[in-house]
Amino acid sequence: MRSGRVLINNAVVTDLATKVEPTDIVRVGRKVVRPQPHVYILLNKPVGYVCSAADELGRKTIFDLVPAAKQGRLFHVGRLDKDSAGLILLTNDGDFAERLTHPSHQIDKEYEVVLDQAFDPERTPKLLRGMTLEIGRARMESVHVLAPKKLKVVLRQGLKRQIREMFFFLGYRVEKLVRVRIGPLSDPRLKTGYWRPLDREEIAALRESATSKPREPRRTPVDGASASKRPIGRKPSHRPPSRRKAPVSKRPAAKKAAE
């Protein structure tokens, strides 16, 4: 543009902030430039793949699973680490991706987690209140116990290896981690390693969830609730779970505003 090679409607344009309308004709030299159609893909990532367009260590990447990625400039929305699996979005729509990842929009991301040992429900309030780790201040929005070692957790943050680090802080090791929902979007029928394009309704639902006002923090009851809905708990330490039980607090633990 600075060299005068870009023309919009046959007029040379050198201002880098120039906005192009859908009806404009854009040329670079003699070649007409046409916008690339937006692509929205849902991928069920397997374990062992990294979220990167190219890996310096030669590891398999999520784009190896999507041949269409070679035909355009797709990028991933958020990420899952190499040892994690589940749903991840790929797109070439930068505005769409920015809305979904911006902290102010608080998009829910739901995970199924399998631990190396039975989870003590009394540890739940610590996960909900949050903790200060090397990666930053980390917290969960909800924790539901599905089985002794299996939980369903919801995040609105996107800190690196957040779930693994939070459970490690409490003395647990995550053996399996699968993302099963992104905002309103889930697909239990999508097989691991497969992908599909999003339909119009799904794209609209994601846009709506990313433009809605941030939700007010809610208070989490800790007394008289089942572990699957309103977990009870005591104030835990960072040490591994102990069999000794402490009195259950009668006061609800107020949750901090989501980051």
Which of 81, 83, 199, 223 is the catalytic position? Answer: 81
Quick one: tokens of 106? 């608080």
d(CA 65, CA 76): 13
Contact 8, 24 (CB under 8 A): yes
The answer to whether residues 89 and 78 touch, using CB atoms and an 8 Å cutoff, is: yes
Contact assessment for residue 63 and residue 97, using Cβ atoms and an 8 Å cutoff: no
Q: CA-CA distances (angstroms) from residue 28 to 3, 17, 22, 37?
A: 11, 16, 17, 19
The H-assigned helical ranges of 116-225 are 124-129, 162-169, 200-211
Please measure the distance between the N-terminal and C-terminal CA atoms of the chain and give it in whole angstroms: 39
Do 105 and 207 form a contact (C-beta atoms < 8 A)? no
DSSP state of 249: P
Report the DSSP beta bridge partners of residue 136: 133
DSSP-H helix ranges across the chain: 94-101, 124-129, 162-169, 200-211
Cα–Cα nearest to 6, from 23, 42, 30, 22: 30
Note if 81 is an active site residue: yes
Residue 209 DSSP label:
H
Using CA atoms, how far apart are residues 2 and 70, in angstroms rounded to an integer? 30
The set of catalytic residues is: 81
